[in-house]
Structure 1
Amino acid sequence: MSKFTVMGPVDQRAQVNPFAPGYYETDELRGFGFRRVGEGVRVAKNTTIVGLENVTLDDHCRIDGHCTIVATGGTLRLGRYVHVHTSVVIGCRGGVVLDDYSGVSHGCNILSASDDFSGQWMHNGTVPAHLCRPTIEPVWIGRHVAVGAGCTFLPGVTLGDGAAVGAHSLVQTDVPPWVIVAGTPARQVGVRSRRLLALVPREDAAA
């Protein structure tokens, strides 16, 4: 006789998983004070967002759990079908845009402001502002951009449409359209196919 007991299927309807807090969806999100919330938007309930009035969430975008978005001093726009994966940090002081169909993988940092670490000025958010000299510039991530896990984007960078960034890269300069970059600092390692453009719905392709 076997020492193992064969268990029957568990009735999932009778269980609540306390480790899956779920998502807020469009109807709820529209009552929270965002600048705009489109159709089919989902934001994980364990996400931290401050400065809701400066955040635009376009149709069918999604923000997964444990992300931190600070938009008290600048704006954020997530375009249509944008996916922000888990544990992403977005600092919006200089303004941040993730355009349509772009995706940012787990653990990325998108920084539109950065302190001066040269020693000429003080730094960190508790110090009086007149003693600091941060770099504050917008970050623009274009349409169809694919970003691997653990990347960091510094203030002022623009990623052209269709660009791709390998995991754990440091992006401190602009990336041309349809170029693949990787490394610290990021450098071109390839060219990306444009075949995906044929898959875009006609109404979006004309936008």
Structure 2
Amino acid sequence: MNNPFDAGYYLSDELRTFGFRSVGDNVKVAKDCSLVGLGNIDLGDHVRIDSYASIVAVSGFVRIGRYVHIGGGAYIGGAGGVTMEDFAGLSGGVSLYSASDDYTGRAMTNPTVPAAYTAVKRAPIVLNRHVIIGSGSIVLPGCTIGEGSAVGALSMVNKSLEPWGIYSGAPCRKLAPRKQDLLEKEALLMAASGDRT
């Protein structure tokens, strides 16, 4: 019996027919997601995007590496470019804004206003390998999060973060170093699966 509450997933073979820039193997995208600008979106191997996530790449790009999970209700705005490297992950409700209006009142705001009247800041966001972002967090344009860093739930990232740290707060600050034991697990996974890093 079908479960009417489970929208299910599109898989790699079907996704490749939709017009994405590229789609790897073993990709699952929930059927109730909203993805716009497919020709500017790359999905690596072993990617899963859960229900109600939104990726908007009408301009710019979104590049998602291998073994990446995007939780339900996450938002990725690719106007300034977003890169998520291998093993990066977004918990539910995380928002990545690579473009943002000027909130000072010097210009008009929102995408319905012609560009000549706005002052949108566009700058790439990069989540390096093994970065994890906790639920409800926001990453603003121009931020690079260093390899292995973890950002706690409900945090705001408004500047680039160093590698292998645990960060939290609004704006976020470094709380402690993050252990690198997971790199041994990565090596075991790659050896077992035959994948190369």
Q: Say yes or no: does 1:177 pair with 2:177.
A: no
SS of structure 2 residue aligned to 1:73 = coil
Partner of 1:132: 118
Q: Per-residue displacement from partner, 1:118-137 (whole Å, max 9, x unpaired)? A: 01000001111100011100
Which residue is equivalent to 2:38?
52
Structure 2 residue aligned with 1:157, among 139, 143, 151?
A: 143
Runs in 1 of length 4+ with deviation above 3 angstroms? none
Aligned-residue Cα RMSD (Å) equals 1.0
TM-score relative to the length of structure 1: 0.91
Matches within 5 A, 1:59-138: 59-138=45-124
Offset of 1:168 from its aligned partner? 0.2
CA deviations on 1:101-123 (whole Å, 9 max, x unpaired) are: 01100001100000001010000
* Aligned length in residues: 192
Amino acid at match of 1:156: G
Deviations 1:56-76 (A, max 9, x none): 000001100001111001110
**1:16: Cα distance to partner?**
1.2
For residues 2-21 of structure 1, what are the structure 2 equivalents within 5 Å? 15-21=1-7
Q: How far has the Cα of 1:92 moved from its partner?
A: 0.2
* Aligned partner letter, 1:46: D
> CA deviation digits over 1:23-43, x for unaligned, max 9?
000010000000000000000
1:7 corresponds in structure 2 to none
Equivalent residue in structure 2 for 1:34, among 8, 20, 23: 20
Between the aligned partners of 1:135 and 1:88, the Cα distance in structure 2 is 21
Paired amino acid for 2:160: D
Residue 147 of structure 1 deviates from its aligned partner by 1.1
2:98 is aligned with what amino acid?
A: S
The structure whose Rg is larger is: 1
Structure 1 residue matching 2:39: 3-state secondary structure: helix
TM-score, L = length of structure 2 = 0.95
Q: Secondary structure at the match of 1:28?
A: helix
Which ranges in structure 1 are unaligned for 5 or more consecutive residues?
1-14
Q: Among the aligned pairs, what percent are the same residue?
A: 46
Q: Give SS of 1:175's match.
A: coil
Q: Which residue of 2 aligns with 1:3?
A: none
- Corresponding residue for 1:9? none
- How far apart, CA to CA, are the structure 2 residues paired with 1:72 and 1:126? 14
- Matched letter for residue 100 of structure 2: S
> Deviation of residue 53 (structure 1)?
0.3
